[in-house]
Amino acid sequence: MIDYHLHGNFCGHGEGDLEEYVRTAIDKGLSEIGFSAHLPKVDTPDPYHAMLEEELPAYVEKVLGLKEKYSKSIKIKLGIEADYLEGYEKKTSALLSAYPFDYVIGSIHFLGDWHFTSRAGLVHYKSKDPDKAFPDYFRLLEKMIRTRLFDIAGHPDAIKREYFVPSIDLVPYYRMIADALIDTGMAAEVNTAGLRRGAGFLYPSREFLKVLVARNVPLTLGSDAHRPEDVGRDIGFAISILMDVGCEEVSIFERRNRESIKLLSDANRS
């Protein structure tokens, strides 16, 4: 079993030293984990939602040190989660290329100045039109994917909430995203945080996931843990859903090269 989306105390909203995450992963029987702390914001420093740029070398050193220390017990990958911010592609690329990441998760957390994944942003759902917000989100996600800056599309429908439901058909947008992922060779993340953040299901939705699987889009797994006790949370459920919709393998990464492992054999190791 793998978990490629772990955070920690390298930002203001994460808890716990990274070593606590490693020990928890070992205790839970995970075979491979990846840290994906928030890349420094490339527009405005935001130490609550992301690490500061001067902290990035320490983060890389910490993960690589843990990788060596626990090499006989678990595989540890050096990842990062980067916000996609239009107009800052060159700065994002420069920051990513400066370090030996195994994978980069690209994520959409903002629509304009609406930080919809933040606690402060939740109140704004009341004033937003889902029939406009969902298309805007998916168009921005497609643009992010086609930059080819990233390896994994993080929580690919993170804007969804149980109480924020569009009347329009989203399947054409799911297909648009699947096409972009196939064209660029990127993977999509199956993120279990949707089960605990009011989305009502995994990110992505079951219908979205079916489209991705039907198009043979590569998939990864992540808990989006921001505290040690959430390492591996609901990954077993995610695996059961993936197998139910016909997915037979998931992707792992090393030095930004992707390979696949059989889902069944991975589940059997959990």
Please say whether the beta carbons of 27 and 267 come within 8 A: no
Q: 97: how many CB neighbours lie within 10 A of its CB?
A: 10
Q: Say what the pLDDT of residue 226 is.
A: 97
Question: Across all residues in the chain, what is the average pLDDT?
Answer: 96
Kindly state the helix (H) or strand (E) to which residue 131 belongs, with its residue range: helix 130-146
What pLDDT score does 264 carry? 62
Token readout for 221 is: 């797994």
- Work out the angle at residue 82's Cα, subtended by the Cα atoms of residues 104 and 203, and round it to the nearest 5 degrees: 80
| Domain harbouring 170, CATH code | 3.20.20.140
pTM of the shown model: 0.95
How many domains does the chain divide into?
1
In this predicted model, what pLDDT tens digit does every residue of 13-40 receive, in sequence order?
Answer: 999 999 999 999 999 999 999 999 999 9
Tokens at 186, concatenated: 């990127």
What average pLDDT does the segment 122-150 reach? 98
With H, G, I as helix, E, B as strand and everything else as coil, classify residue 263: helix
Contacts of 206 (CB under 8 A, 6+ apart): 241, 245
Q: How far apart are CA 103 and CA 210, in angstroms?
A: 24
Whether 193 has a pLDDT exceeding 60, the answer reads yes
* 3-state SS assignment for residue 226: coil
pLDDT digits (tens, 9 = 90+) for 142-168: 999 999 999 999 999 999 999 999 999
Q: Does the structure show a pLDDT above 90 at 268?
A: no
Q: Under DSSP, is residue 116 helix (H, G, I), strand (E, B) or coil?
A: coil
Q: Residue 34 sits in which domain range?
A: 2-268
State the Cα–Cα distance between residues 29 and 270, nearest whole angstrom.
6
- What DSSP state is assigned to residue 4? E
